[in-house]
Structure 1
Amino acid sequence: MSYQPLRNFARIKSSLKRMLSRVRILAPKISPKPSLDDLSNLNFGGLLSFIISLSLEVVKFIFVLTVYSQKKTLNGLLRIEKSKNWFKKWLMWRRGVLFRPATHGGVVILSVLVVGIASAFGGNQIEATSISPTEGGLLIAGTTSETIIPEDRVRSEIVTHVVMGGETLGAIAKKYEVNVESIQWLNKLQNVNEIAPGDELRIPPLSGVVHKVQSGDNIDSIAKKYQANTQAIVDYPFNYLDDSFALRVGQELVVPEGVPPAAPKPKPVTPTYLANGGSASPKANAGASGKFLWPTSGDISQYPVWYHMAVDIANSAAPGVAVADSGTVTLVQYLRWGYGYHVIVDHGNGYQTLYAHMNRIYVNPGDKIAKGRTLGQMGSTGRSTGTHLHFEIRKAGVTLNPLSYF
């Protein structure tokens, strides 16, 4: 395959040689200063034959050149496509650590393109027109307009809120869907009434603590300080942590469900339902349609949230993991990132379950497995900070809240 361009070049060169040889054959028949006798002696049949032959050679040359150009262009496009796919997979594996610099770089490139295009059309005259303050969606200095934020937009960073007359801390917290304590602690307020119109409050993206990294901090120490779960800090997509979980001094980390040191943290309810069905399961949600068995024993170390629609069950003893319902094993993967060693089981009724971060896997793709049978052992492979099971329930490609099915 790598010698194809050389063959194409040799073919083109051969065509050129044949054309030159025909020119040499014809050239002696005409003197440098041709006379009428020379022209009369010229073999016009031979000339016609030469022109036809030359035309055929030109057509062949153009055909070979076109094929060669098409192959080179196609190979170039394939290389670009492969590079794009590799880059996309790499960004996914990095779990967003390069999202911010990639976005900034894209904005810079886009700005340069806009300036270049504007310069190219700089000579165009624009007719001045009268525009009302809000016509065409424009906001003119000295006017006001309400900014509408889509309800489903997920905030990734801290925002600033200016307190209006009559607002309370509770109303502000409800507006941004966070708890009062999170706003109070971030702004170092002694009590909830310590706000006045015109005050600027920093609002965290979710309920929890925003911690500024100091020298000597690491993920474990931060989680311990705020009585939070280490895995929850790692899984929060806008903390931009790489797979080494390295921190830099001054970096702000969002600690989901973190509690300030002075505040007590309520003890989470720990289910006692074992993989072998030793005790009854919790009440099923009235709207739930699947019946699943609790997959292992241990404490819930992380509850489902929008960016982590799964339940994490931690147990340092690394017990066995049971399949939540009968089905067929559709996927077994051994990864060093992401889910680590994980299994997906299709239950044949539209539901699938996923079991991740395992240390050992005892099944293979295509295996039929009965409800309650052990499919692996709990572990800490992939993007994990400790021994636990990451358990998901999916339906029609959508990840659901597992706790709604127990």
Structure 2
Amino acid sequence: MWVKIARVTLRDPLLRFVRHLTVLGVIALGVWAVRLGWDTLPAAAAGGLVAEQGETAAQPVAAEARSSGPGMMSLPVYSDAGGQKSGVSRNLMLHTVFPERPRLDVIKYVVSTGDSLFGIAEKFNLKPETILWSNFDVLQDDPHRLAPDQELSISPVDGTLYEWHEGDGLNGVARFFGVDPQDIVQWPGNQLDLNMDPENPTIETGSILIIPGGRRELISWSAPRITRSNPSVAKILGSGACGTVVDGALGSGGFIYPTASHVLSGYDYSSVHPGIDLSGSTGNAIFASDSGVVVYAGWNDWGYGYVVVLDHGIGWQTLYAHLSSINVGCGQSVTQGNVIGGMGCTGNCSGPHLHFEMLNDAYGKVNPWNYLQ
């Protein structure tokens, strides 16, 4: 009887004791497992866990990774490198920057003192030819005609501009400038009907069309090929044209600098400027670059002022422009190095200099820098 009562009386406390002991064992096992995992982590990972739990992060302490058994790789010593965290940073932008849209229409530009054809072209990211082609009524294909207060039309793209005339055909205009008719129609700035008939276009007379990629031959007002056998061909240039010229001195084919200075002043040789501008002062001597005969001596009506042209008799011709004075006359033979005139600024120019050109029967106008000695 007593044994039965004891069993009943101790049963519940005994069960509770076993349950508590089991819980404590599980907790101890968990603590042991966590401790084992913590010790095998590098210091950086341990610091990251603490930070995720919201605790205040202390300065990381370098520690060696421990090996906890076979197959466990040793980790390198952690170094904070100054405590700075690398990553993608966000810069503070006070203003939003919007990309500029490309210009589609023609704008006007007023020439200022000191401007040059090449400087204006660079300002608008265009080729110099585009400025000349688009402004023939102002510049007439001559960079020397550029002057302050002129108003130029600036195309939005390399090419040319064309004023539409009554009776024009789109195919003919496109053919003249070497482009496809659709290049003109599809340029947004022209605002043309994309479905128009190229043979009968509905374009208002007087409209200024942008011809993307269009080009034409530049007109040269300096001098054609003037031979001693036919110097009168230069009558179109002005009063300096010569009449009959008899034979005279022949050149050697070697060319000297026509000025004491070998420094460029103004425009260099290019497709729009077929010569070089050499520096100096008004009255400085201008020398014959090679021996030859004078086939033009006098005023040039197309912006070059006082001009001398020498025919060297061996397929070469040289031109000297913007002179202040001329010391030779038509038909006169000159020897290399003779003074033929004085430096000046006659015609269209912005300061004293010599505009010098070389022309060859086989190659046309050439770059003087390649031949002067």
TM-score range, shorter chain: 0.3 to 0.5
Looking at secondary structure, tell me which structure has more helix per residue.
Answer: 1
Taking structure 1 as the reference length, the TM-score comes to: 0.34
State TM-score, norm by structure 2: 0.37
